[in-house]
Chains A and B, each alone.
Chain A
Amino acid sequence: MTSLIPLIRNECLKIIKKKRFYIILLILVVLVPMFTYAQMRIADRNKDKFNSDWRLEIQQQITDNQNSLGSDRIPEEWKSYRKIFVQQLQYYLDHDVNPNEPSGVTFTREFLDNSVSLFIPLLIMAVASDLVSGERTTGTIKMLLTRPVKRWKVLFSKMAALLMFVSLIVLAAFVISYLISGLAFGYKGFNVPVFTGFQLNGDTVDMSAVHAVPQWKYLLMQGGLIWFVSVVVALLAFMVSVLVRSTAASIVVMMAALIAGTILTNMASAWTTAKYLFMVNLGLTGYLSGSPAPIEGMTLSFSMGVLAVWGILSVIISFAVFTKRDILN
């Protein structure tokens, strides 16, 4: 009986030796400075405009959004989104807290908010989409499955290695964006308060549950949610990689699904059953900051539930197919 630990070690070794993880780190190291620079330009411009007074800046944002509410050319969904946004800004202003206090921590928080539904899933696919289909493309699957090891153990070891690397990728995204943006904005800002707990009700915001949390705590909550999303995306990509023989096809299938998700989200869909699709539920961190959900009736627990069901189903399908299937080529 072969135990699982050496098998998991094998899989981790292969991921590292294939240099997939380094490529992901490299992508982060190249892209984060770009975003940091863009953010810096915005901050500089606003500083000139509002004489470094963030209250003026927020006030201007509120006025802009309110003005646009009167326009007939703006779709109704956008209007309610803007109404909510205005109410939140007003709340920050009333409590004398700058929501955009420039710091490495704030940048990290915003960067990851924007990355959760597309950028981080893409990084994860770089590892997950190749795990099983890669072995089939090169034919090494034959060597792997003719050893005296049950098939479920082989698959389990791959899945375990994948989850470890997913966790590392999420951690790396946080650390790299903090370290790099800190160069520009400073490394402080862990204790700046952030408001969370906005409850959306149509286009009004229920402020009764709103409370301030220090930014470090907010980052932790955000990290947990991003990790959860990442695990589900990883399990889905893993399933596709079990089902499809070529790595390229496996990546294309997942990419198409993710991009369809962003498109559907932006359509602020009238098609309400779309909320059961995994790809419109990836923006979990939006519930923390209080951005309105893409489809009526979605809440944090609803989205997590939908994602969990998709994740569990993909695990079941992966194991059922992998342990039974004939390896014909």
Chain B
Amino acid sequence: MAKDQSGGSGTVVLSVEGVRKKIGRKWIIDDVTFDVREGEVFGFLGPNGAGKTTTIRMLVDLIRPSEGKITVCGYNVNRQPEKALQYVGSIVENPEVYTYLTGWENLQHFARMQPGVDKARIDEVVDIVRLDHRIHDKVSTYSLGMRQRLGIAQALLGRPRLLILDEPTNGLDPKGIKELREFIRQLAAEGLAVFVSSHLLSEIQLLCDRVAIISKGRVLAVGGVEDLVARNSPYVLWELEPLSRAKKILGSRPDISLMELDEVTLDDSIIAGMGANSLVTVMEEDLIPEIVAVLVTAEVEVRAVHKINPTLEQLFLKLTEGETID
């Protein structure tokens, strides 16, 4: 089981403990455990079909877990949904609202379903997502981006402490994605816990403080983005002459692993720029001066040394043993 190793500070808003779910004869979720704290953006990363959406549906009581416990602000989501869900705003998959109602009527509809949401609050959320000029139009005339914003307005209505967004950037243009990212950061800065699922590594790395990586129904790692990434040794690119002797020296050391070009996850542009005498290794950064000295003593010419910091993608591929992410 993956241990949560990050030292976040805020109080825990969402806690998922040992959740499993069996559908038919298959365990489609097999051991999911993590905490989400206030003021942080928590990323939930995994390939399509890994169990992200099923997990999210369990967080909001659409699906009941077969085992394990999910609590929001101390209330069990499945036992006391009336209490727990008042702290949660969510968009599960697409922002599906009633297209035959206006944006305003939709918000009114959802406002009636929770206590303490008055007209002033509806005005407020409409303002936050900047839909005020179109809010009285039928939703069927909205663009996807506007529907997304209406969905977020709906999620924010009840002043939640936890916001759950499932693939929020789906269908948004680059400008919209950037806006959304800033918006989510701002909400987190105001103390909201934001849970974001995505299959896009770069998006999670840009947006989130901490991540959980899920594959085949299991959480493989949980932690701060920086910590997780740092847990991986960087790639070191060498240009050495003669290559065969250098290979022998480097290959004999247990703390260095030589990589074949087709098993590394480096940008194609870097790989293309490498000369005939190039080598790729995975090793600790601190070892570089020592190895250079060893090579020089052995009369190997060191023409270039280049360190490339690990990415979340590298970690992901390592954890999922090469399962592709798309």
Contact = CB atoms under 8 A, between A and B. Distances in A.
Contacts of A143: 96-97, 110, 154
A146 B92 CA distance: 9
| Residue among A1, A6, A142, A151 having the largest count of chain B Cβ atoms under 10 Å | A142
A327 B92 CA distance: 11
Interface residues of B, number: 33
Contacts of A145: 61-62
Given A142-B93, A146-B90, A150-B82, A326 B98 contact: no
Interface of A: 1-2, 6-7, 9-10, 13-14, 17-19, 138-140, 142-151, 324, 326-328
Nearest to A327: B62
A146 B96 contact: no
A136 to B, nearest CB: 10
B85 A146 contact: yes
B82 A142 contact: no
A326 B63 contact: yes
Contacts of B90: 146
B105 A150 contact: no
Given A9-B112, A10-B112, A147-B113, A327 B63 contact: yes
B113 A2 contact: yes
Contacts of A19: 100
Contacts of A328: 23, 57, 63
Nearest to A5: B112
Nearest to B84: A148
A22 B94 CA distance: 30
A13 B113 contact: no
A142 to B, nearest CB: 5
A148 B86 contact: yes
A140 B88 CA distance: 17
Contacts of A139: 93-94, 96
A7 B83 CA distance: 17
A148 B83 contact: yes
Interface of B: 23, 57, 60-64, 81-86, 88, 90, 92-94, 96-101, 105, 109-110, 112-115, 154, 158
A10 B100 CA distance: 13
Contacts of B60: 142, 146
16 contacts: A10-B109, A13-B109, A14-B98, A14-B101, A14-B109, A17-B98, A17-B105, A139-B94, A142-B96, A145-B61, A146-B60, A148-B81, A148-B82, A148-B158, A150-B82, A324-B64
A146 B88 contact: yes
Given A139-B96, A142-B93, A148 B101 contact: no
A114 to B, nearest CB: 34
B96 A150 contact: no
B244 to A, nearest CB: 58
A300 to B, nearest CB: 41
A327 B56 CA distance: 12
A6 B116 CA distance: 13
A17 B97 CA distance: 14
B85 A140 contact: no
Contact of B113 (A10, A324, A327): A10
A148 to B, nearest CB: 4
Given A18-B100, A142-B62, A148 B109 contact: no
Contact of B112 (A1, A6, A17, A138): A6
Contacts of B57: 326-328
A326 B62 contact: yes
Ranked nearest first, the 6 interchain pairs of A and B with the lowest CB-CB distance are A139-B96, A6-B112, A148-B86, A147-B113, A148-B85, A327-B62
B219 to A, nearest CB: 21
A218 B97 CA distance: 46
A142 B98 CA distance: 12
A1 B85 CA distance: 11
Given A2-B114, A2-B115, A10-B113, A138 B82 contact: no
Contacts of B88: 146
A251 B82 CA distance: 33
A307 B92 CA distance: 40
B164 to A, nearest CB: 9
